[in-house]
Amino acid sequence: MPRVTPLAAHEPRSAGRYRLLGRLGAGGQGIVYLGEDDAGHRVAVKMINMELTGTPQSKRRFAKEIAAAQQVAPFCTAQVLFADLDAEQPYVVSEFIEGHTLYRQVKEHGPLAANSLYRLAVGTATAIAAIHQAGVVHCDFKPDNVILGADGPRVIDFGIARAFGSDSMNTNVMGTVPYMAPERFRNVDVGPQCDVFAWAATMAFAAAAKPPFGNDGLANVMRRVMDDEPDLSGLTGPLRDLAAECLAKDQHRRPSAQQVLLRLLGHGGGLPATLPLETMLQEGTDAATSILPTLPVQAPPVAAPVPSAPPPVVAGPVVAGPVVGSAAVAPVGVPPSSPRGTDQAVVTAVTAPREQRRATIEPPAPPAPPAERAATAVARPPASLGTRLGRQLGDPWGISTAIFVGTLGAATGYIASTVVSTAALVGGATFTIVYAVRAVAAALLDSGEDTTG
């Protein structure tokens, strides 16, 4: 049960037809209360900060995003049930999920591993795929927005950050920065791929109890997100490889949420023609809410047998496990000396009646030669000059360079003339010329791809 704080004297006792029972938490968007309807069903009621819906434009944007969020299919998500933006205190009502947030669980009990980490990865990927199917971008996916319920992980608060137009940063964004994609800082081409980046960063946190780019200050984290490779020390095997792809700096090179889910379910990177999206989402939900095997961990290489003798047969220990449908889950091929037992099992789960389902991630094939990769790559037309120029104009490093050179120009002008106005004119002209020339040159050299086609 999440911590519920008694209501203070100044806090509301109701929101529309919902009676408020206590406070669940608070953030930059507003305060979340535990509520109850007339039938006794518990809900989460978020009282929205007035300034966030204070203008007609912001209210219209919020209403549009909330309406879209209400269309998200109920696959590993907490459903948005109702919203009243015209109330004296605007509020949003969503399904109440009893359980700890992923952030609290990891901080109090340590990193997740094996089956728990696999269920988390599949459940959250299923939720993001369902959210994207409805045309919604979460824009604030992070450990605090994942609830570990009794029936598996659930994603909350989808669409609300987007409704507030939170692509721009403010003083309340510090808790989110370690999970924000590079394009969020540039505010260029922000879309569903930023959720894929945040998903991978959240999986890295769940496995190591720390974000992959650290959390030691806004400037340091931003620099690492933009320039450095992520720290994925807590992840292993195929899940580590998948997370690394999802954390690509270029959002066009990341897989989609559907592709992530398909790989987690063992279907490879493409959507089978015979597998509808709803079926895939249901399969992901089943995997996240069932006792499933751990992700495969590569076993140490086995020496080749002597040709004159038959190869030795090493049987792994049979460990009793729960039965899913009519098939029992048991580890396969684990050496008897393995210290972790089922935590390092490579298994295939079969859930009746879906006999075609594969719950493991197959080990990745050896990387293809560069020529083969180039031949199989999907060609995309280059982005327009305007799009590339827009990216470069918002590049923080280019702006910093121009400011630095402009400052040198101002200093030089002052030394030469000892006149402040002349120095300021020289500095401003230097900044403008350097900024413009660098942006145009970088845009012409930019090889960014266009994904709109």
As a residue count, the chain comes to 453
User: Measured at the alpha carbon of residue 224, what is the angle toward residues 434 and 186, in degrees to the nearest 5?
Assistant: 50
Give the model's pLDDT for residue 336: 33
Q: Which residues are catalytic?
A: 140
Model confidence pLDDT, tens digit, residues 384-411: 666 666 666 667 666 767 677 667 766 7
Q: Tens of pLDDT along the chain (453 residues)?
A: 678 899 999 999 999 999 999 999 887 678 899 999 999 999 999 988 776 566 677 777 777 777 877 878 778 888 888 888 888 888 999 999 899 999 999 999 999 988 899 999 999 999 999 999 888 888 889 999 999 998 889 998 875 655 444 433 343 343 478 999 999 888 888 889 999 999 999 999 999 999 999 988 889 999 999 999 999 999 999 999 999 999 999 999 999 999 999 999 888 655 555 567 777 788 888 887 764 444 443 333 334 443 444 333 333 333 333 323 323 333 323 333 333 333 333 333 323 333 343 333 344 444 444 444 333 333 444 556 666 666 666 676 667 676 776 677 667 766 777 767 776 777 777 777 877 777 777 667 765 544 434
How buried is 208 (Cβ within 10 angstroms: 0-12 exposed, 13-18 middle, 19+ buried)? middle
Q: Can you give 414-435 as a three-state secondary structure string?
A: HHHHCCHHHHHHHHHHHHHHHH
* Domain residue spans of the chain: 55-77+98-297+343-363, 385-445
Lookup: tokens for 190 = 């922000």
User: Measured at the alpha carbon of residue 342, what is the angle toward residues 340 and 343, in degrees to the nearest 5?
Assistant: 60
Q: How many CB atoms lie within 10 A of CB 3?
A: 10
Give CATH for domain 55-77+98-297+343-363. Answer: 1.10.510.10
Amino acid at 239: L
| Pairing outcome for strands 99-101 and 91-95 | unpaired
Give the model's pLDDT for residue 44: 93
**CA proximity to 347, closest of 364, 372, 328, 326:** 328
Model confidence pLDDT, tens digit, residues 16-46: 999 999 999 887 678 899 999 999 999 999 9
pTM beyond cutoff 0.75: no
- Spatial separation of the C-alpha atoms in residues 90 and 29, rounded to whole Å: 11
Q: How many CB atoms lie within 10 A of CB 345?
A: 26
Lookup: tokens for 81 = 């049930």
Burial call 346-374: b when 16+ CB within 10 Å, e when fewer: bbebbbeeeeebebbbeeeeeeeeeeeee
